[in-house]
Amino acid sequence: MKKLQLNEEVNISRLVQGVWRLADWNYQKAEIEGLIEACLELGIDTFDHADIYGNYSCEEMFGHAIKHRTDLKEKIKIITKCGIKLISDKRPDHYVKHYDTSFEHIVWSAENSLKMLGVDVLDVLLIHRPDPFINTHEVARAFSKLKEQGKVKAFGVSNFLPSQFKALQAAMDFPLVTNQIEISAVALHEFANGSIDLCQELGIPPMAWSPLAGGGIFNAQTHRMMTLKNVLHKIGDNHGATIDQVMYAWLLSHPAGIVPVIGSGKIDRIRAAIDAQQIHLSRQEWFEIWVASKGESVP
């Protein structure tokens, strides 16, 4: 599988395996190991985490599975996120859900993620959500310290608007490498707000969370969703592909280099996503999906 170079130290696989539902899958240690091994065999070596996933449990579950698997640790790349504080029995001092992008919390979060995952270095650390109380210079100082200490190789953000991305980048001594945002054939807002444009301007690949729009397309109820589903079926039939594969292909074909984050832990669904790389949509097919989703022709 093709790799994407994020900076001089980090490259990631063209598709990334997301594990935010790991706790919901009820996988045992051996099943998590098996998932990681299967992903590696299929060419996916990059795994997307966040400190809060599974009520602060997913990093630790993943880390427990690879604790004695040095062979796996040497092959995988880890992306994780910080900055959200949930109300949780794991964090009894949190009485309101809020964001924390302070120097102290970012450094603590990165070090805690290293501990939970049982690895020596994080490949990419992202700020999970834009923080209205952010001090961009504090964030930049935390990023610089973690990089200098060799604890994190690259940094980025998630769900940032272009103005928020540029404000943080202006405080940084080195480039941010990605913005992980919601992009799918259903969710088009990042095209309108300038996020995709900014990624192209800076030459960084955006990562797409929920690339299948949470699976809502499969149980389409609204006129818009049913229209889009019919178009996806039609194009899928032309390519001998399923509608989820067409949705992945729609993202993968975009010149911005969008990186889908796969949300399923089922090997057949992961394999289907990988096979979508072989689907080559024409420009007209791409726009047919765009028009069906927008509900109107381009001007």
Which distant-in-sequence residues (6+ apart) come within 8 Å of 200 by Cβ?
255, 256
Please name which of 42, 50, 46 lies closest in space to residue 12, comparing C-alpha atoms. Answer: 46
- Amino acid 210 reads S
For the chain, the maximum distance between any two Cα atoms, rounded to a whole number of angstroms, is 57
State whether the Cα torsion 185-191-193-194 is positive or negative: positive
* Alpha-carbon distance values, 279 to 38, 133, 261 (Å): 22, 43, 18
Give the residue numbers marked as catalytic: 53
| Cβ-contact 182, 209 below 8 angstroms | yes
Q: Where are the alpha helices (DSSP H) in the chain?
A: 29-42, 53-56, 58-65, 70-73, 103-117, 136-148, 162-171, 189-192, 195-202, 223-239, 243-252, 267-275, 283-294
Rounded to 5, what percent of the chain is helix, strand, coil? Answer: 45, 15, 40
- d(Cα 88, Cα 8) in Å, to the nearest integer? 38
Residues in the chain: 299
